[in-house]
């Protein structure tokens, strides 16, 4: 049962892209088989099922004498309208009336078109479907064609349809001309009555307004009157506003005059008044006389006191007279000023009232002028509309008169619709349909074969190419290794391919992967590389030995640690019974004694050592210490791990490794298994995960094969240069 994580893995894997060309290359054999089977079966079916066909056709010519009679158009624009006319005639041929009569005429000739238990409507419908009618391009011709498996009666049914159509056209033309003339004459009478009515209305409008309403310049008189009155209203309004403003200012001045200081004017008036001046002179003389008298009277004189009192009274009279004169002067002068101001106000009020009255009258006249102009404008628009309507009616009458004349001419000299070519009995059948069907069968077979190839590639979830690894995991494969059987070289011992056949394409691919591991070692000081496969006998040991052989380091700096407890590595000519990791962990031998240093391989080997019930010896802490000791002496420690699906030991080995190398056999492992395994290794917090595609076969397209051919061409050229 799938877990939730398995479902998430399936959902997260991007779908394959469709590559028709590559899919065709991958499945070319099965595609050829599919194409052959479909072509063979389809060819037999077409040959026996598709019968030869007979074809017969008749040609009808439509030749109107006067094209304008048909269309009412100029010669330059006749062509599209003529095509419409021809299409109309084709539809008439397919009408029920024409085809039903054709079937009856066909029966009179000794042939029966109706099938058993078929009513006339069904027979007409079947004939309309079988009858192919089309206009011959850029001509006045159209053809009536039928295709049948039997040639008997084929030409007769076509000729019956053509004769029925020609009879129908002749009868329709006679009825149509009379009905069209009656309609046009009736329409002409209606237009003449309406035209007479519009003339009468136009005459009444002109007489009521006593002006030629058809002349648009006459409206300018009313518009100019409105403009003149508007200007006068503006002037009157300006005068009224000016008088109103001045009147307000005069009233303000009147209030100011009542409080104005006029003492200077009063003094001047008092000084210049003769009566006041005479009184003052007389009083001055009397005062002078009394002062002279008083100056001659002694202080103790009994009359002195009387003189002093008289002098005092004279002074009082003088002052009283001056005060009274000033009051009178002030009243007279201020009254004079106020009186003059009131006269000005009265005169200005008169002007204001006159301006206000004038303004009102002008506005009234302006309103009347606007009403009059609007009324005249409306009447002129009405008259203009009537004139357009009259012109349209006159044009219609001209067209109707012309149409009546044309129909009368047409009825006397009508166009010709003739049967140009009668249908003939076909001599030989046509096999064109067989050829078309064979082409369809061939195309269908090609499409089916290609579709099958695309479907197979689309639904195939196996890992076949490095691109599949990148699509599933999101990061590229470290490299790929071809299936050794596909190489041009022959290998006696595949574990020593890099040593003995170093110029092979297989060895070159191993060296590219080893170079990547060397870079990883230099950049990140990675030493422990654990090689894991996803099943038994998937070439893990072969990959490990060749990868170690391809490393460009001294022999004593690289070691193969065999921990494949299910299929231990057997070193040729060396007995490892009781030796190896198991002996070290049991304390039977030392680590240095367990390591094989004198083999034919360019690296040291630490075998597992075959003993009974030893499968779990290295799962404890002892193996970790053993690996730590090896790290001091070796730069590259490559562990040959047991298959991932056979033991939990692999998880332990992956966890202690710097790089977990997952070996994926092409065409064996599917996408979900690969994604699940990589996720499992990733959860163990392995520093680096490397994926290598193993045993890639050429049948997955020509990409690898082309590369191999190019590679061996370069190798041969190098050999020639060296020799």
**pLDDT higher than 80, residue 613:** no
Residue 545 domain-assigned (yes or no): yes
Q: Are residues 351 and 470 in the same domain?
A: no
DSSP of 598-639: SSSSSSEEE-----TT-TTGGGSHHHHHHHHHHHHH-SEEEE
Within 10 angstroms of residue 517's Cβ, the number of other Cβ atoms is: 23
**pLDDT higher than 50, residue 2:** no
* pLDDT tens for each residue of 180-229: 778 878 888 888 888 888 778 777 776 666 555 555 566 677 777 778 88
Q: Lowest mean pLDDT of 44-53, 235-244, 340-349, 420-429, name the range.
A: 44-53
Report H helices in 131-153: none
- Report residue 317 CA to chain centroid gap: 116
Distance, in Å, from the CA atom of 187 to the CA atom of 168, rounded to the nearest integer, reads 28
* pLDDT tens for each residue of 488-512: 788 888 888 899 888 888 899 999 9
* Contact of 100 with 165, CB cutoff 8 Å: no
Instruction: Report, as an integer, the average pLDDT of 343-363.
Output: 84
Domain of 36, in residue numbers? 15-51+431-459
Distance, in Å, from the CA atom of 1 to the CA atom of 643, rounded to the nearest integer, reads 22
Distance, in Å, from the CA atom of 348 to the CA atom of 356, rounded to the nearest integer, reads 12
Instruction: Report, as an integer, the average pLDDT of 437-446.
Output: 88
Collect all residues with Cβ–Cβ distance below 8 Å to 582 and sequence separation of at least 6.
Answer: 608, 609, 610, 611, 614, 617
Residue 558 pLDDT class (50, 70, 90 cuts): very high
> DSSP character for 35?
H
Q: Are residues 669 and 600 in the same domain?
A: yes
Collect all residues with Cβ–Cβ distance below 8 Å to 91 and sequence separation of at least 6.
Answer: none
Q: Are residues 449 and 470 in the same domain?
A: no
3-class DSSP assignment, residue 336: helix
Instruction: Report, as an integer, the average pLDDT of 598-615.
Output: 77
Q: Which candidate, 154, 128, 133, 50, places its Cα nearest to that of 430?
A: 50
Question: In the prediction, which pLDDT does 603 show?
Answer: 93
* pLDDT tens for each residue of 398-432: 888 887 777 666 655 445 678 888 888 877 776 65
Distance, in Å, from the CA atom of 260 to the CA atom of 253, rounded to the nearest integer, reads 10
**pLDDT higher than 60, residue 688:** yes
* Contact of 102 with 127, CB cutoff 8 Å: yes
Quote the tokens at residue 359.
């303004």
Question: In the prediction, which pLDDT does 194 show?
Answer: 84
Quote the tokens at residue 571.
């070193």
Q: Are residues 488 and 609 in the same domain?
A: yes
Report H helices in 259-303: 263-272, 274-296
DSSP of 417-475: EEEEE-----SS-B-HHHHHHHHHHHHHHHHHHHHHHHHHHHH--B--SHHHHHHHHSS
What is the CB-side half-sphere exposure of residue 195 using CA atoms within 13 A?
15
3-class DSSP assignment, residue 371: helix
**pLDDT higher than 70, residue 486:** yes
Please state whether the predicted TM-score (pTM) of the whole model is above 0.75.
Answer: no
Residue 86 domain-assigned (yes or no): no
Q: Are residues 484 and 611 in the same domain?
A: yes
Q: Are residues 553 and 681 in the same domain?
A: yes
Instruction: Report, as an integer, the average pLDDT of 109-118.
Output: 86
Q: Are residues 638 and 659 in the same domain?
A: yes
- Burial of residue 665 (CB within 10 Å: 0-12, 13-18, 19+) is buried
pLDDT over 70 for what percent of the chain? 81
Q: Which candidate, 449, 463, 440, places its Cα nearest to that of 25?
A: 449
Q: Which candidate, 358, 159, 337, places its Cα nearest to that of 250?
A: 337
Question: In the prediction, which pLDDT does 72 show?
Answer: 47
Q: Are residues 635 and 704 in the same domain?
A: yes
Find tokens 């990733």 and name the residue.
Answer: 682
Q: Are residues 540 and 628 in the same domain?
A: yes
Question: In the prediction, which pLDDT does 535 show?
Answer: 80
Q: Are residues 490 and 379 in the same domain?
A: no
Residue 232 domain-assigned (yes or no): yes
Q: Which candidate, 659, 654, 608, 664, places its Cα nearest to that of 636?
A: 659
Residue 667 domain-assigned (yes or no): yes
Distance, in Å, from the CA atom of 411 to the CA atom of 414, rounded to the nearest integer, reads 5
CATH code at 679?
3.40.50.300
Write down the mean pLDDT value for the chain: 79
Name the phi and psi angles at 663, rounded to 5.
Answer: -95, 120
Residue 193 domain-assigned (yes or no): no
Residue 426 domain-assigned (yes or no): no
3-class DSSP assignment, residue 575: coil
Distance, in Å, from the CA atom of 158 to the CA atom of 111, rounded to the nearest integer, reads 12
Higher model confidence: residue 121 or residue 434? Answer: 121
Q: Domain total for the chain? A: 3
3-class DSSP assignment, residue 395: helix
Higher model confidence: residue 544 or residue 242? Answer: 544
Residue 551 domain-assigned (yes or no): yes
**pLDDT higher than 60, residue 68:** no
Q: Are residues 455 and 470 in the same domain?
A: no
Q: Are residues 566 and 672 in the same domain?
A: yes
Quote the tokens at residue 683.
């959860």
Residue 613 domain-assigned (yes or no): yes
Higher model confidence: residue 570 or residue 677? Answer: 677
């Amino acid at each position: 049962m799938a877990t939730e994580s398995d479902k998430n893995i399936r959902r997260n894997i991007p779908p394959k892209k469709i590559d028709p060309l590559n899919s065709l290359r991958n499945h070319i054999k099965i595609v050829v088989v599919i194409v052959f089977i479909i072509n063979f079966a389809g060819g037999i079916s077409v040959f026996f099922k598709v019968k030869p066909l007979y074809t017969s056709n008749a040609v009808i010519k439509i030749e109107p004498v006067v094209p304008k009679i048909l269309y009412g158009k100029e010669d330059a624009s006749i062509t599209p309208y003529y095509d419409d006319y021809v299409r109309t005639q084709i539809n008439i041929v397919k009408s029920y009336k024409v085809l039903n009569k054709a079937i009856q005429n066909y029966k009179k000739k000794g042939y029966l078109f109706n099938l058993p238990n078929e009513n006339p409507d069904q027979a007409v419908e079947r004939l309309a479907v079988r009858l192919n009618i089309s206009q011959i391009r850029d001509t006045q011709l159209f053809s009536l064609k039928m295709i049948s498996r039997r040639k008997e009666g084929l030409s007769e049914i076509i000729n019956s349809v053509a004769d029925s159509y020609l009879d129908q056209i002749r009868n329709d033309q006679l009825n149509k001309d009379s009905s069209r003339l009656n309609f046009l004459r009736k329409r002409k009478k209606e237009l003449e009555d309406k035209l007479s009515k519009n003339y009468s209305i136009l005459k009444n409008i002109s007489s009521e307004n006593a002006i030629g309403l058809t002349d648009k310049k006459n409206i300018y008189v009313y518009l100019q009157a409105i403009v003149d009155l508007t200007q006068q209203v503006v002037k009157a309004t300006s005068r009224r506003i000016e008088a109103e403003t001045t009147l307000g200012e005069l009233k303000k001045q009147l209030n100011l005059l009542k409080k104005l200081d006029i003492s200077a004017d009063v003094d001047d008036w008092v000084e210049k008044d003769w009566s006041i001046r005479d009184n003052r002179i007389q009083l001055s003389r009397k005062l002078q006389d009394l002062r002279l008298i008083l100056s001659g009277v002694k202080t103790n004189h009994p009359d002195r006191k009387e003189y002093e009192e008289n002098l005092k009274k004279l002074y009082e009279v003088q002052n009283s007279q001056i005060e009274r004169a000033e009051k009178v002067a002030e009243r007279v002068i201020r009254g004079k000023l106020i009186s003059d101001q009131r006269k000005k106000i009265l005169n200005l009020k008169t002007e204001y009232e006159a301006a206000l009255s004038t303004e009102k009258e002008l506005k009234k006249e302006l309103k009347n002028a606007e009403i009059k102009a609007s009324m005249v404008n409306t009447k002129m628009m009405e008259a203009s509309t009537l004139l357009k309507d009259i012109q349209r009616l006159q044009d219609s009458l001209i067209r109707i008169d012309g149409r009546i004349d044309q129909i009368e001419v047409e009825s006397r000299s009508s166009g010709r619709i003739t049967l140009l070519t009668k249908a003939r009995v076909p001599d030989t059948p046509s096999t064109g349909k067989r050829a078309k069907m064979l082409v369809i069968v061939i195309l269908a077979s090609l499409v089916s074969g290609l579709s099958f190839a695309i479907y197979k590639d689309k639904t195939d979830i196996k890992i076949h190419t490095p691109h599949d690894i990148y699509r599933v995991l999101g990061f590229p494969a470290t490299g790929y290794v071809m299936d050794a059987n596909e190489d041009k070289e022959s290998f006696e011992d595949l574990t020593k391919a890099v040593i003995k056949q170093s110029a092979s394409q297989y060895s070159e691919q191993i060296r590219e992967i080893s170079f990547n591991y060397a870079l990883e070692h230099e950049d990140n000081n990675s030493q422990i590389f654990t090689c894991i496969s996803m099943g038994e006998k998937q070439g893990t040991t072969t990959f490990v030995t060749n990868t170690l052989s391809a490393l460009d380091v001294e022999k004593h700096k690289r070691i193969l640690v065999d921990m494949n407890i299910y299929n231990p590595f057997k070193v040729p000519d060396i007995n490892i019974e009781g030796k190896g990791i198991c002996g070290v962990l049991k304390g039977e031998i030392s680590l240095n004694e367990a390591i094989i240093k004198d083999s034919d391989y360019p690296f040291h080997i630490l075998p597992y050592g075959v003993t009974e019930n030893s499968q779990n010896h290295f799962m404890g802490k002892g193996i970790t210490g053993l690996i730590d000791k090896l790290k001091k002496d070796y730069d590259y420690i490559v562990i040959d791990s047991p298959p991932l699906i056979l033991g939990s030991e692999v998880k332990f080995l992956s966890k202690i490794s710097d790089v977990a190398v997952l070996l994926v056999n092409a065409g064996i492992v599917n996408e979900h298994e690969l994604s699940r395994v990589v996720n499992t290794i990733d959860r163990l917090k392995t520093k680096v995960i490397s994926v290598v595609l193993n045993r890639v076969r050429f049948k997955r397209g020509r990409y690898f094969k082309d590369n191999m051919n190019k590679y061996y061409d370069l190798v041969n050229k190098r050999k020639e240069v060296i020799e």
